[in-house]
Chain A
Amino acid sequence: MLKDLVTPENANVFVGKLGDILEKAIDKPLGYAINWGRIWSLWPVHIETACCSVEFGAASSPRYDVERFGIIEAFGSLRQCDLIVVQGTITRKMAPRLRLVYDQMPEPKYVIAMGACAITGGLYFDSYNVLPGIDGVIPVDVYVPGCPPRPETLIQGCMLLQEKIKRMKARKFV
């Protein structure tokens, strides 16, 4: 009967279904393990957009040291990164580049909007060259208010993101 069922034509469909069943069985523990791995090694991409990068730098400094919370210092290659911290104002010239960077990053990817400018345009609400928030460009996970936010605030934002990842479905990206 199995021989009738599994013909060379539908063999891979069958294997795929089997894989799904298997995955469902171990979804919870596996998902937890995957999320645990993601939480403690968030790699922010090295893209500065405005003046909040000063406080982002301060957050990596010895006094605040985000690395102990699993946020690694900004890193060069965006192919290895899974977090964008949008550090402040996005201008009209920068917006396409931000989207380009976001598109090149592998899944899963998370976005923290840091500073009032990244959230709503902030102090530059009436400037001709500043976007009123980055929501129209990329989806945002966590908003960190402040102008600029203190490093502690940024760290809290990162921890909120970790909480969020913990509750996310890991399988969506597997």
Chain B
Amino acid sequence: MTAELPPGLALQKVDERIMTLNVGPQHPGSGHMRIVVQIDGDYIVACDPDPGYVHRGEEKMAEYRNYITNIPHLERPVIHDSCNVLYPYVLGAEEILGIEVSERAKYVRVIASELNRCIYTMYWLAIYGIFLGHSTMFMWPAGDRELLIDLMEKMTGARVTHAHFVPGGVRNDLPPNFEDVCLRQVNYFEKRIKEYAAVFYDNPILISRTRDTGVLSRQDAIRLGTTGSVLRASGVDYDLRVKEPYDVYDELDVHTNVMKEGDSYARSRVPWLDMMESCNIIRQALQKMPKSGSVRTKLKPNPKTKGPETVYKRVESGRGSLGCYIVSDGKPEPYRVKMSVGSFRNLIALPYLLKGEKLGNMPSVYWSLNYWPVEADR
């Protein structure tokens, strides 16, 4: 009897039980990418991430623009972290063009980059909340990040796409009275994010959903070359602000947050701890910053390079180490710009984390990787 039924209805052999499922790109739990998962019942047996839905060819476009006109489009991969994503490019361009940056500009950069890190992380946290069905955790961070966006708007003139860092410093000086407003907002912000512990991080439902899911061991985190909060949640003490301080980070006291567990919970907690550290850094920077002085070394519209050179600069962004490899052949345009982004490097961990997990845990594991698809695709 069974044999006469069409193949779809017949009982299947054990190895045919495995079903392939497309998650995304239109799916509330996937973002701008597709994840092909093979499931056996409720358990994921294999996973194949398929990025590239926002691949816009930034690296090719960079070869056709000079070092200044590259700025606006190179910050678009992560517009809510646009200062950090531009940082390594600007550092590299400064070395190639041979420009010195004033002390005050360096501090302004540090403040802008830390504020941006908080803005990015709050957005990430809001989406993490909505992925887990925790609406309050969408509303709170999405509302609180507007405070910092106001600060950035005051400083740079734009809500998210600042284009504030330029080779030679920053575009504009701080507005009058910015230090006081910034200090007040940051203090309030820090007080506010501490309250998230009660509603989110100590929430037994969150803990039971994310504890011991998607565990990434220390060896695997190193072997897979993950970075940022994913790496630090697996017990590796590595933060470029401490290890390879750029600009004025060596004058500031930066503490690295490390957790041992390596599960989704640890990965979601480390960025939150990092935000508090960012508040500390901003306060220190506001105190140590020279109160006046130039913030920008003026450049000609089409600046000359020193000559053929290759540089690789990296900074710690909201998603981890972000490197920029620039090959210059002496022309006003870069010969090749390569961005080595944290999201792309963390993506490789996804198949390893999802194997053996339940399908229902996929959104929490996926988004705990601190992944921003637009950045990974570039």
Contact = CB atoms under 8 A, between A and B. Distances in A.
Given A51-B76, A61-B146, A62-B139, A76 B56 contact: no
A162 B56 CA distance: 32
Nearest to B64: A126
B160 A93 contact: no
B124 to A, nearest CB: 11
Contacts of B25: 47, 94, 97
Given A45-B26, A127-B57, A128-B60, A61 B374 contact: no
B93 interface: no
A148 B31 contact: no
Taking residues whose C-beta sits less than 8 angstroms from the other chain, chain B's interface range is: 35 or more
Interface stretch (B47-55, B95-103, B200-208, B333-341): B47-55
A91 B160 contact: no
Interface in A44-101: 45-51, 53-55, 57-58, 60-63, 74-76, 78, 89, 91, 93-94, 97, 101
Contacts of B79: 51, 54, 148
B349 to A, nearest CB: 22
B142 interface: yes
Contacts of B26: 45-47, 78, 97, 101
Which of B53, B78, B126 counts the most A-chain CB atoms under 10 A from its CB?
A: B53
A97 B53 contact: yes
A124 interface: yes
A147 B72 CA distance: 10
A89 B31 CA distance: 14
B54 A62 contact: no
Given A61-B142, A76-B28, 19 more contacts: A47-B26, A49-B54, A50-B54, A51-B54, A51-B79, A54-B160, A55-B159, A62-B142, A63-B143, A89-B56, A91-B54, A93-B55, A94-B53, A101-B26, A123-B72, A123-B76, A124-B56, A127-B58, A127-B60
A124 B52 contact: no
A58 B147 CA distance: 12
A152 B57 CA distance: 30
Contacts of B32: 48-50, 53
Interface string A115-153: 000000001101111100000000000000001101000
Taking residues whose C-beta sits less than 8 angstroms from the other chain, chain A's interface range is: 35 or more
A19 B2 CA distance: 50
Given A51-B76, A57-B123, A78-B26, A127 B56 contact: yes
A93 B123 contact: no
Contacts of B57: 124, 127-130
Interface of B: 25-28, 31-32, 52-58, 60-61, 64, 72-73, 76-80, 123, 126-127, 138-139, 142-143, 145-146, 149, 159-161, 374
Interface of A: 45-51, 53-55, 57-58, 60-63, 74-76, 78, 89, 91, 93-94, 97, 101, 123-124, 126-130, 147-148, 150
A58 B142 contact: yes
A123 B142 contact: no
Which of B57, B127, B149 counts the most A-chain CB atoms under 10 A from its CB?
A: B57
A167 to B, nearest CB: 30
A47 to B, nearest CB: 5
Contacts of A78: 26
A93 B53 contact: yes
B31 A48 contact: yes
Contacts of B31: 48
Nearest to A87: B32
Contacts of B146: 58, 61, 63
B142 A46 contact: no
Contacts of A55: 159-160
9 contacts: A51-B79, A55-B159, A62-B139, A74-B28, A124-B57, A127-B61, A128-B57, A129-B57, A130-B57
A97 B58 CA distance: 22
Given A49-B32, A97-B25, A126-B64, A57 B126 contact: yes
Contacts of A47: 25-26
B54 A89 contact: yes
Nearest to B139: A62
A91 B142 contact: no
B73 A124 contact: yes
B137 to A, nearest CB: 12
B73 A60 contact: no
B127 to A, nearest CB: 7
